[in-house]
Amino acid sequence: MATEKTKTPGIYKVTGKKGRVKYRLFVNVQVLDALSASGWRWKLKGKTYASYQDALDAKVKVQGEVKSGKYVEATDATVKELVEKWLEAGRGKWKLQTYLSHLSRLERYIAPKLGDLKASKLRKAAVEQAASDWARSGLSARTVNKILNNVMSPAFKWALKDPDSFGINVNPLETVERLSTLATPEEIEARALGEIPNHGEDQPEGKPGTLREIQPNEVYSTLELKKIIEASQPGLERTLIMTAVFCGLRHGELCALRWSILNLKRGILTVNRSLTQLSKKRGGPRLERPKTKNAYRPLELPAPLLAELRRWKLQCPPNPNELVFVDALGKPVTRKNNNRMLKACAERAGVRPLSMNNLRHSFASQQLINGTTPLEVSYLMGHSSPAVTLSIYSHWAKTEKSQAQIETRQSNHGSGRRRGEG
C-alpha cells in the first residue's frame, strides 16, 4: 500500500494493491482531558474517504467546527443507549404512565430498527426508512409521528446538552419528514375495487407539540347536560357524571377523589392526586401527583352536586384508599367503564354519545359562555396558564359574544343558576 502527499496538508493519497485509490485525512481536533490544566488537549484524527473532494470537504467542516467550538468527539453510544438514558433522566419528572409509554415505544419500535446504530451516526435517511417500515407494518401515521415527536426528537434534543457523552452536535430528527399518508392494505384493496383512497383527518392536525383546538361538536350544550343528568341512574352513575359536569376534572383527577379530601361541610373539593390505570404486570392502579403544578386546586361544589355526594357517601362501598368512585367490589372505576356508562346514559337521554373527557370540555365551554374570564377558567381547569385555555377553547373565548351566547347567559342568570352547574 503506497502513500503519498497531496497538495493539501493533512490529506494523503493511498493506493492499494489492486490499484484502488483512496484519500486519508489527518486533522488535529480538541478533545476533553480532565488531567490537562486547560481541560482539553489536541488529538490527531484520521479517516479514509473515497475521493479527494470528500476528504477536502471533511477537513473544511472539521476545522470549522474546531474553530467555532462546535466540534464533538464521536462516541460508541448507540441510539438505544441514548434513549434509555433520556428515559431514566425524565422518569422522576413524568407520570409513570408517560414513562411506560415512552419505554414501550423504545422496546417495540426504536430498538429493533435503530437501536444498534451509533447515535453520532444516525442520519435523516435511516430515520425516514424506519418510519416507513413502521407504517408498512401496520402502524398509523399518527402513531409513527408520536414515536418521532414524543420520544426520539426530545431524546436527541436532551443529548445535545451533553455532547461529549453521546458524540452528537445536531438533532437529526429536525429535518426528518413526518408521515402524512401511506398506502395500507385496506387502501390497496380499495384501489383494486376502483374506490378513491380517502386521506387526511376530519379535523386539521396541529404541529407537533401544539394544543388542539376543541370544536363545538365536541361539547354538550346546557340543555344536553341537563338531559344527561336527569337520565342518569341514582348512585355512582349520577354522582360521577355530575362531578365531571360541575367540576371539569381530568379523568384521572376524577377517579382519584377521596372522601378524606372532600369537605362536605364547607362544600370544597381539593384536587391533589390523579389515578393512573396500569395493568397488573405494571403494578396496577396508582395514585400520582396531578398533571401540572397548577392542577393542585380547591374547587367550590355547587349545591346540587354537594347533595348528591352526601347521598352517595352513604352508599359508597368501603375501600382501603377511601376513593369516592368505586364499583360494587370497592375497586377503582376505569375509563373504559365510565365511557360505556356515559354512552348508555346519553342514549337514554336522547343525545349524541361523547366521552368522559368531553364533559371536561363542556364544563370549560359553559364557563366561558356564562362570562367567566379565561384567567378564572384556567384556574378551574388546572391549566398551566391562561394561554392554554385560550388555545384549546378559542371558539368560546371571544371578546364579542354571539347573540345565542348572550341569550344563553341571560337565561342562566335569570333562572338563578350558580356558575359551574352547566
Residue range 153-206, pLDDT digits in tens: 999 999 888 766 777 878 889 988 888 744 555 555 555 666 665 555 555 555
DSSP state of 23: E
What SS3 class is residue 11?
strand
Cα 369 from Cα 395, distance rounded (Å): 10
What is the count of structural domains for the chain?
3
CA distances from 329 to 240, 284, 319 (A): 17, 16, 8
Q: Are residue 15 and residue 42 in the same domain, yes or no?
A: yes
193: in domain = no
Q: Is there a contact between 141 and 179 (Cβ–Cβ < 8 Å)? A: yes
Q: Are residue 248 and residue 376 in the same domain, yes or no?
A: yes
Q: Are residue 319 and residue 171 in the same domain, yes or no?
A: no
100: in domain = yes
195: in domain = no
In terms of pLDDT, which residue wins out, 282 or 296?
Answer: 296
Query: Average pLDDT over the chain, rounded to whole?
Result: 83
Cα 131 from Cα 14, distance rounded (Å): 39
Domain boundary among 168, 185, 202: 185
- CA 77 vs. chain centroid, Å, equals 26
201: in domain = no
Residue range 71-109, pLDDT digits in tens: 555 567 899 999 999 999 988 888 888 888 899 999 999
Domain ranges, residue 286: 216-414
204: in domain = no
177: in domain = yes
pLDDT at position 389 over 80 = yes
Q: What are the DSSP calls for 280-341, one per residue?
A: TTTTS-EEE--SSGGG-EEEEPPHHHHHHHHHHHHHPPP-TT-BSSB-TTSPBP-HHHHHHH
Q: Are residue 261 and residue 397 in the same domain, yes or no?
A: yes
Phi, psi of 62 (to 5 degrees): -65, -45
Q: What is the pLDDT of residue 404?
A: 41
Confidence bin at 237 (pLDDT 50/70/90): very high
Confidence bin at 2 (pLDDT 50/70/90): confident
